[in-house]
Amino acid sequence: MCSAWPVTYKPKSLKQIIGNAETIQKFVEWVDSWEKGVPKKRSSFLYGPPGIGKTVTVEALANDYKIELVEKNASDYRTEEAINRFAGLASQYGSLFGGKRLILLDELDGITGTSDRGGVKAITDIVKTARCPIVLIANNAYDPRFTNLRNYCLLIEFKKPATADVARLLKQICQSEGIQADEDALKFIAQRSEGDVRSGVNDLQALSQGKKRLAYEDVSWLGYRDRKDSIFNVLRMILYGKTCVGAKQAVDMADVDVEMLFEWIYENVPEHLTDTHDLANAMDALSIADVYRGRIRRTQEWGLMRYVIDYMTAGVAMARKNTKVSGWVPFSFPERIQMLSRSRAERATRLSIGKKVKRKCHISARRAAREFLPYMRIIFKNNPEMAAGLARWLDLDVEMIDYLAGGEGKSEAITKLLA
């Protein structure tokens, strides 16, 4: 069973982290300041976009400095009682063997809603009296909930690493995996990751499955799909969901539209539901969702969309009965979307020719492309003189002639006749 590359190639030392060199140095200096006694700011607050190395920086520092790291997600400890039970005592004592200790509360953004009342206040109280370094991590440190907490923390902003740095990391991973990758392909993946290193590595693994060479053509279709910060997390919530409500909530988290999400689910269900009965039930749910999609397209009755969402999310999640989790299984990009993207230029050329025929024959461009193009291709491949006459009459450009002729040699003969 293969492992997730973001885990396999996770930095173990501060030297391995890309980008944010000055920011990391500021964090290291704050940790070093504890050697001289309790500093004025007993907590550091690391913030910035997801996937750029905030958490891994803390873990790497703890590894370099041989510090005991007590790490928890703040979203799992939302109430005042839960926060005090975990972080309160830990912040007052050293490690079991007398060494140094560092407390990390990650995903502070997850403290939301009425059930979290007192959680932020409890963290603030702990920070005021802590006897060991406390690190808080969130995407946005300037959320109104953290107004008072910020006064007691050293704010350290992490920014997105440069595209060149991300591409360099992807190249190192390819070398380790024995994959020969084009520079343009890696640069394109890095650009599409928008500084999210974890997402870029995820994309690289998904795109290079079963390949020993990764060319630009293998990744260029990524421009067709919307950039998704957590598409893999959304799929995980649906394919491994325990409740209908949780699976349906994944749609609200997705930046891709419902049509695109359907393709993602359809592509990945067979790999993640290995029991035949589970798979059959999941595909039944997707087929019903697809029926409703068809009705929406025909009738424009968008109220049916709720049934599409129910069947493609909750229906798929509840199909999992007997499938056992036997290790990490990678997610795959939708093959149908990939094929559509690769043929997009061809479809655009066909439609352009159809528009030329439309003006001469007074029919729709789509009908012209569907009914006339097959005969035109036969003519352009076998009769250059007639093809040249048609090209002149329809005012076709070189690209259209190349497409109809099906090869540069034959298109050159036609263009010479036109000249």
CB 305 within 8 A of CB 296: yes
| Whole-number Å distance between alpha carbons of 384 and 376 | 11
Residue 149 has pLDDT above 80, yes or no: yes
pLDDT in tens, 376-399: 888 888 888 898 899 889 888 888
| Number of residues that make up the chain | 419
Q: What is the pLDDT of residue 210?
A: 75
Please report which helix (H) or strand (E) contains residue 156, including its range: strand 153-157
Fold of 20-157: Rossmann fold (3.40.50)
Q: What is the pLDDT of residue 251?
A: 81
Residue 373 has pLDDT above 70, yes or no: yes
Residue 243 has pLDDT above 60, yes or no: yes
| Whole-number Å distance between alpha carbons of 134 and 58 | 11
59 by Cβ neighbours in 10 Å (0-12 / 13-18 / 19+) ranks as middle
Give the mean pLDDT of 166-183.
Answer: 91
Q: Is the pTM of this model over 0.85?
A: no
Fold of 163-224: Helicase, Ruva Protein; domain 3 (1.10.8)
Q: What is the pLDDT of residue 326?
A: 66
| Whole-number Å distance between alpha carbons of 226 and 223 | 7
| 111: helix, strand or coil | coil
Residue 258 has pLDDT above 90, yes or no: no
Residue 275 has pLDDT above 50, yes or no: yes
- Number of helices (H) and strands (E) in the chain: give both, helices first: 24, 7
CB 384 within 8 A of CB 378: no
CA 2 to chain centre: 19
CB 325 within 8 A of CB 244: no
CA 370 to chain centre: 37
pLDDT in tens, 15-30: 999 989 999 999 999 9
Biggest CA-to-CA distance, the chain: 91
pLDDT in tens, 324-361: 876 667 777 777 766 665 566 677 788 889 888 888 88
Strands annotated E in 9-83: 43-47, 68-73
Across 132-141, 176-185, 202-211, 329-338, least confident range: 329-338
Compute the Cα dihedral for 237, 241, 242, 244 and give only its sign.
Answer: positive
Give the mean pLDDT of 266-281.
Answer: 91
| pLDDT band (50, 70, 90) for residue 281 | very high
Report residue 141 as tokens: 């440190």
| Whole-number Å distance between alpha carbons of 313 and 289 | 10
Residue 90 has pLDDT above 60, yes or no: no
| Whole-number Å distance between alpha carbons of 143 and 153 | 14
CA dihedral 42, 114, 80, 53 (to 10 degrees): -40
